Amino acid sequence: MPTFTPDRSLLNPKFDGYKFSPLEYDEVTAHYPLEHKLSQTNVSGRAPLSFQEVQSRVLHNHLAICSQSKRAVYVDADLRVIGIDLDETALKPAFRVLCELPRPIQSSAVDSLQREYPSAAFVDATSLLVADGYGTLYALRLGDVGPAEVLAAYELSIPAAYESSQTTVPSRLHQAISPDGQSIIAVLSSKHYPKNAPEPSQKSHKPPPVKFDVWGVQIALPIVTAPQAQPLQIVWHRRGDDVPLYVTYDASRQAFLFVGSSSYLPINIDPTPSYEPSPDEIAPIPRKDENLDGAPAATSDLPKPPPYSWTQTEDMVTVAIPLPSDTPTSHIKVAFSPRTLTVLVEGAPTAPTADVPVVVPRYTLKALWDEIRPGSSLWTFDRAAERTYGMLTLHLDKAHEGTRWPQVFAAAGQGGPDGEEEVPETLDPSELYAIREALEKYTAALRDGSDASGLGLGKGVPSLGQGERDDDVDLSVGKSACVTWVGVGGAHPAWLGKDGHGDDAPLQLLSTPFPGSSGTHKPSLVAKNGLDGVVYTLQPGSNLEDPPKWEHTATYSALAFVLASKRDTRFVHHITSKAVFALESGTQDLGGNVYIYRGAGVKENWAKQTVLKVGGGAAGALLGVGLMKVQGKVAVLCLCEGELVILHDVL
């Protein structure tokens, strides 16, 4: 059973859009210049980067947030680890140099590997791990003031069993936890360099496939200092097609959650191959009135007709219910109310029979999807004497003209005693013909560039829009993502399959939680559902065997639609059901924007949208973001190349 299932009651088909709600820029932002600046151009190497590596570097968050305190760190262009302590009263940051990491000496005569951006992760408020991007991991102890104490250095030594041509590789640090107080478990990722990699073809420009390793390494506590780098103890290993987009730890299940464009599997487990049917398994398509089985189809195998059919206009919903043509009009009882419908037919069969195979529906105060006007609603019955069935037609006058009903009854398509099958809307032949004719005219107009409106608006696409339309891009908003679980010790949880990622189809991921929010909010994902963004929240488990339950807790209506036009976003993060932040990177000349889409209730037609500028000019491009909760309020830290911008009181 899929674990990501939307709740229809939390979807809002009446939603109209987002209205701009301006904020006073100087009242909600604070700017602090950086003495120690960052750079996104200090990653060097001779080997060309694959698309996955480029994308990973673009999405890399240079800011690490401590969820247990008001503390953050980043690594500047000269490999200095800079600490940021945020004053809770004034929301003013204090910067200090924690340590300066040694820079490895690289010779131009040696073909060095592509290094990673430096990365950091807090174990707790006083313990910090920092990866320098060259392959060394440092353990630091932080105090309230002054520099940090460098306790030890570690290197990831890759055993031969992992079939790597390199013994040490640059790595990226994703998370660090201490599950039992006896050790630290850190999650690293690195590019896989296979031993017997084929030589790149001179004829083909297609790059060779790239794989990425995900490592779970252990550091014993207390940390033992040593003058030389110590080898890391590998607890578990997985391999996938990309760098994880989101990593978190679920303490209730003692397992890591990975969200990435592929599943992450042990190297001794191959991905499930796609099923290809054999020629004998492909059934031919029968022609009209052709029976390929040579025997008449059983009546019980025929699909059961729906209990009614329906269609709608701007102001009317028409419901047609088949009744036996000999039904007396006096036996038909229909009652309308603003929110309910009652339809009772005396003497109607309660079960299918040979003469009447269709069961007449009985509705007693059945809740409608929307309100109607009872006084102007009516019903008719056409006996059609020469036919077996007549037609009971209900004409429901909409109370809200122009509102499109997705279904007739509120409980259609849901389980429970009041639920019933969902009946799709049908169209009468004349309306279908009009739609088809309009589509043919529109298609012809697109083909020859003529004016389809007939209003003299010109031909073709405006000059500024030439070459800019891309339907595939508009439909592919978000990132395809798979969910993989790994036990803290490397074992697959018992409630998953042998490969550790279950049977769920990939999600179209729109947003992940803000870095730093794990201490105050449950893990959640925003996935694409039509034009909407559905918030799935992971509920805590009652024990280690409790399978993960992703509950649909909120909906950002039309979020996928508005994000489709934001092609330059670098980070998209959300704060539960309150707001989604789409942050552009920007450049030195042109600053990026932060688009804030606030959540709205299921019955609300409009939601608020805010746009703020971050970066640009001396501040440079946006390179990192994080969230802190200060005195019950949310503060968003935006780390630019030369400036720290703090957004506050934006919700």
Q: Measure Cα distances from 459 to 191, 283, 450, 462, 468 in Å.
A: 51, 47, 5, 8, 16
Strand order in the sheet with 233-240: 172-177, 183-191, 212-220, 233-240
Strands 524-529 and 378-382: unpaired
Query: Among all chains, which residue has been given the structure tokens 């040694």?
Result: 102
What number of CA atoms fall less than 13 Å from residue 479's CA on the CB side? 24
pLDDT in tens, 294-312: 555 444 455 567 788 889 9
Residues 320 and 258 in one domain: no
State the average pLDDT over residues 470-482. 71
Does some domain include residue 518? Answer: yes
Q: Is the peptide bond before 222 cis (omega within 30 degrees of 0)?
A: yes
* Residue ranges making up the domain that contains 604: 8-105+112-195+210-269+481-648
Q: 36 with 152, same domain?
A: yes
Tell me: the pLDDT tens digits for 66-107?
A: 988 999 999 999 999 999 999 988 899 999 999 999 988 765
Residues 187 and 62 in one domain: yes
Residue 434 pLDDT level (bands cut at 50, 70, 90): low
Could you tell me if 613 and 532 lie in one domain?
Answer: yes
pLDDT tens-digit map of 570-588: 999 999 999 999 999 876 5
CATH number at residue 319: 2.60.40.790
Sequence-separated contacts (24+) of 597-600 with Cβ below 8 Å: 597/18, 597/556, 597/559, 597/562, 598/21, 598/651, 599/554, 599/556, 600/12, 600/15, 600/557
pLDDT of residue 406: 86
In a domain, 368, yes or no: yes
* pLDDT of amino acid 132: 93
Q: Is residue 129 part of a domain?
A: yes
Q: Which two tokens stand for residue 153?
A: 């250095």
Eight-state DSSP code of residue 446: H
Q: Are residues 227 and 325 in the same domain?
A: no
Has residue 416 got a pLDDT over 70? no
CB 572 within 8 A of CB 511: yes
Domain boundary among 395, 422, 449: 422
The more confidently predicted of residues 224 and 203 is 224
Mean pLDDT of the chain: 83
pLDDT bin (cut points 50, 70, 90) of residue 466 is: very low
Do 252 and 315 belong to one domain?
A: no
CATH number of the domain that residue 547 is part of: 2.130.10
- Pairwise CA distance, residues 311 & 393, whole Å: 11
- Is residue 243 pLDDT above 80, yes or no? yes
Number of structural domains the chain divides into: 2
563 band by pLDDT with thresholds 50, 70 and 90: very high
First to last CA, the chain: 37
Does one domain contain both 236 and 168?
Answer: yes
Confidence of residue 457 (pLDDT cuts 50, 70, 90): very low
In contact, 639 and 622? CB cutoff 8 Å: yes
> Could you tell me the sign of the dihedral formed by the alpha carbons of 137, 143, 148, 152, in that order?
negative
Q: 115 or 505, which is more confident?
A: 115
Burial class (CB in 10 A: 0-12, 13-18, 19+), 457: exposed
Inside any domain, residue 280: no
Average pLDDT over residues 428-435: 55
Give the per-residue pLDDT at 651.
85
Say yes or no: 50 and 99 in one domain.
Answer: yes
Last residue of a domain, one of 422, 438, 454: 422
558 versus 361: the higher-pLDDT residue is: 558
Which residues make Cβ contacts (< 8 Å) with residue 67, sequence separation at least 6?
122, 516, 517, 518, 519, 520
pLDDT digits (tens, 9 = 90+) for 525-554: 999 998 999 999 999 998 888 899 999 999
Q: Are 555 and 564 in contact (CB under 8 A)?
A: no
Q: Evaluate if residue 337 carries a pLDDT over 70.
A: yes
Q: How far apart are CA 392 and CA 358, in angstroms?
A: 14
- Residue 45 confidence (pLDDT) above 60: no
Q: Both 254 and 332 in a single domain?
A: no
